[in-house]
Structures are given as structure tokens and as C-alpha cells.
Amino acid sequence: MAEQRVITAEGLQQLIAILAGEGRRVIAPTVRDDVIIYDDIESIDDLPLGVTDVQGPGSYRLVDAPEAEYFGFVVGPHAWKKFLHAPQIELWRAQREGGGVNIHAADIYAERAAFIGVRACELAAIAIQDRVLTGGQHVDAHYKMRRDHALLIAVNCSKAGGSCFCASMETGPAATGGFDLALTELKTAQDHLFLVDVGSSAGQALMDQISSRAATAQEHNAAQAQVEHTTESMGRSMPAGVNTPQLMADNLLHPRWQEVATRCLSCANCTMVCPTCFCTTVDDVSDLAGERYARERRWDSCFTMDFSYLHGGGVRNSVASRYRQWMTHKLSTWVEQFGSSGCVGCGRCITWCPVGIDITEEVRAIAGVEAV
């Protein structure tokens, strides 16, 4: 890896100004209604300085942080897929014109964007969605356009959240690739610095415009120690030594599916917040005159009945079968389909499940019973 550079908070502000000056939408974590979400920012002052999140199954709280860091928290309810794989878009519209029907495909358009504060698990999730949505024969042109026009400025996590388990999924907490720049925030009593790793020529071009200096060996070690500390303080883990894909495949009739169905609301929150879930459905809409039609696409979830609707009805009628579809897809069939796990260990599905169902606990329950 190339030499690490060091910038100050002013340097970060410079970076934001340069990105905005290039005509980019600058999107970063910011506080809204006591939750850290991803939205447009204008300056460094819009970042969540000095606050941190306390997360657990079905629970999220924002509190004052012990250190006044800009990135001293973990991932929240939003994932970058909100911008790359938009929740709702129009695919095409049709209109009756002069005795015929004219069909107009929606513009494939993307604003140039820069995402600041992308975590390691999120880089992994974006790589997975790249594979799913652009890797095969059928490329999602909307996703690709947005992805091609987005710069990724990563941040190495300085703490782990109560729902995080990226270390056991080997996706974090250190950003190892797939970014344009990666920052490590180092806050001490004397200094507030960001170590910068450059990951692309676009990232290098940005760094060339910002005043920076080379990192000292001490700073380099401090950044490494911080990431190691984060690794050791993960709130959760996938059980070690379990072949999860095989475990799922071998336990399709395990009683735990029925048990989890008594707790699961089939509300779909877990799939909506998951940064890798990609499923969509389409609605055809028409106006009252029957003159104009449009086909709209929106996020869907394997927890809805319509998702498995075939002629005459849904196939996955029981909640047990829908929960099983979600978990076996994430952890097992995804591997067959796309060559990796569908879970990056971000913990969102645990925190944002209203009743706190924990995918790591469900794996343990199934693995545990099997071991007996």
C-alpha cells in the first residue's frame, strides 16, 4: 500500500469543499431526530461530532460520546443502497398517441456523488451488490450508472457497535480495498488527525489538492492499534468453526424455524435495512383516462406474501418459511449464487428488527441443537 498521509479536520473540510466544488452531491452521516442517517451535508459541521450510538437487538440510542470524534459511531438505519439501488424508480412510461402507443424508457441518470464515512462492512456490501446487479449477464443500468458516478471515502471504525459482527464475517473493521480514500480518525488530547490511505487515482487527485503530510510510524501504529481494539470489542459474532452454508442446507426442517416464527412479525424491516438485500418488484400504474401508463420498481422483501405469489397464491404462506428463506439466502444459497455470503455482519437486521431477532443467535440455536 502507498504511503499513508495525514490531514487535519481543516483538511477534511477542504475535501468536502473540493467535492462540492466538483459539482458532486456530498453525502455523509448526519443526525436527524436523534438518529444518525445518511444525507447531504454542506460542511464538516453537519457530521455527528461528539455523539455515539448504543445499539442492541431492537434498540438504538444516540448518546454523548466520551471523545469529540466526527466518526465515533457505527452504521445506522440507512445503507448506501438507498442511493445506489434506489428504493423507488420509474422504469418506463407509455402513452397513447395518434392511435398508437409510445413507450419511453426512463432516463438512466445519476448525479455525481461522494459518500463520506463508508465503513468496511459497507464496502463489502457494495462489492456484493456490484456482483449481484452488474456482475452477470443482465446489468442493472440504473445501479451501474449511479455506482460509476460515486466516490467512496471510507472510514475505519474506531469502535464496534453492540450489533456489529464484521470481524467474524471477515469484512471489517478495517477498510482493505474498494475505496477511493480511507480515513482513520485519530483523536488525542493534543491532536485531531485523519490518516489517509489512497485507494484510487481519483482519490489521489483529491489528495493532491489538500494540504497533507506523511504519517509518522507512531501514527501508523496508533491507527492499527485502534482497528485492533475495534476488532476485539465486536458486540456479536457468528459462531466460529461452523460451516454456516452447510448448516443451513442440512437443517431446512429444524424446529427452530417454527419457534422463530412465533416471534417474527414478517414486517420486512430486516431485509429493507440490509445493505446487500437487492430484491425489487414492479407495479404497473395507469391514469383514469387510460391514456398514460408507467411501470414503477420498488424494493421488495421475501417477507411479503406477494413475493412468492405464483398462479393462485403465495408459495411461502407460513412465517417460518419466509424467515427461513431470508436466513438461508443470506447465509447459504447466496454462496452458491454469487460466490460469497450475503451477510457482511453490519448488524442492522438485529438493531432494526422491532422485536430484536438476532441472526447470530438463530445460527447458534440451529448449530447448537445439531451438536447435541
Residues that bind another protein (CB under 8 A): 32-35, 37, 58-61, 76-78, 82, 87-88, 96, 262-269, 272-273, 283-290, 298-299, 301, 303-306, 317, 319, 351-352, 354-356
Q: Which one of ligand SF4, another protein, none interacts with residue 305, CB within 5 to 8 A by kind?
A: another protein
Q: Which one of another protein, ligand SF4, none interacts with residue 299, CB within 5 to 8 A by kind?
A: another protein
Question: For residues 136 and 144, what is the distance between their CA atoms, to the nearest angstrom?
Answer: 12
Contacts of ligand SF4 in 300-319 (CB under 6 A): 301-303
| Nearest distance in Å: CB 98, ligand SF4 | 42
Q: Is 355 helix (H, G, I), strand (E, B) or coil?
A: coil
Q: Which of 330, 358, 363, 367 binds ligand SF4 (CB under 6 A)?
A: 330
| Nearest distance in Å: CB 60, ligand SF4 | 11
Q: Which of 158, 184, 271, 304 binds ligand SF4 (CB under 6 A)?
A: 271
Q: Which one of ligand SF4, another protein, none interacts with residue 37, CB within 5 to 8 A by kind?
A: another protein
| Nearest distance in Å: CB 174, ligand SF4 | 17
Closer residue to ligand SF4, CB minimum distance, 110 or 164: 164
What residue type is 141 in one-letter code? A
| Nearest distance in Å: CB 164, another protein | 16
Give the Cβ contact number of residue 174 at 10 Å. Answer: 21
Q: Which one of ligand SF4, another protein, none interacts with residue 236, CB within 5 to 8 A by kind?
A: none
Q: Which one of ligand SF4, another protein, none interacts with residue 275, CB within 5 to 8 A by kind?
A: ligand SF4
| Total residue count of the chain as it appears in this document | 372
| Nearest distance in Å: CB 279, ligand SF4 | 3
| Nearest distance in Å: CB 146, ligand SF4 | 19
Q: Which residues of 294-305 are buried (b: 16+ CB within 10 A; e: fewer)?
A: bbbbebbbbbbe
Q: Which of 329, 332, 366, 367 binds ligand SF4 (CB under 6 A)?
A: 329
Q: Which residues of 123-148 are buried (b: 16+ CB within 10 A; e: fewer)?
A: bbbbbbbeebbeeeeeebebbbbbbe
| Cβ contact 126:90 at 8 Å | no
Q: Which of 136, 354, 368, 370 binds ligand SF4 (CB under 6 A)?
A: 354
- Residues 244, 75, 353, CA angle at the centre, nearest 5°? 60
Taking CB under 6 A as the rule, does residue 297 contact ligand SF4?
Answer: no
Give Cβ neighbours of residue 10 (< 8 Å, ≥ 6 apart): none
What residue type is 281 in one-letter code? T
Question: For residues 309 and 296, what is the distance between their CA atoms, to the nearest angstrom?
Answer: 18
What residue type is 81 in one-letter code? K
Closer residue to another protein, CB minimum distance, 284 or 336: 284
| Nearest distance in Å: CB 21, ligand SF4 | 34
Query: In the chain, what's the furthest Cα-to-Cα distance?
Result: 75
Closer residue to ligand SF4, CB minimum distance, 67 or 130: 130
Q: Tell me, rounded to whole angstroms, the distance of Cα 165 from its chain centroid.
A: 14
Closer residue to another protein, CB minimum distance, 57 or 178: 57
| Nearest distance in Å: CB 159, ligand SF4 | 17
Range list of β-strands (E), 119-211 = 150-155, 181-187, 192-198
122: left (phi over 0), alpha (psi -120 to 50) or beta: alpha
| Cβ contact 184:195 at 8 Å | yes
Question: For residues 181 and 56, what is the distance between their CA atoms, to the nearest angstrom?
Answer: 30
Closer residue to another protein, CB minimum distance, 232 or 284: 284
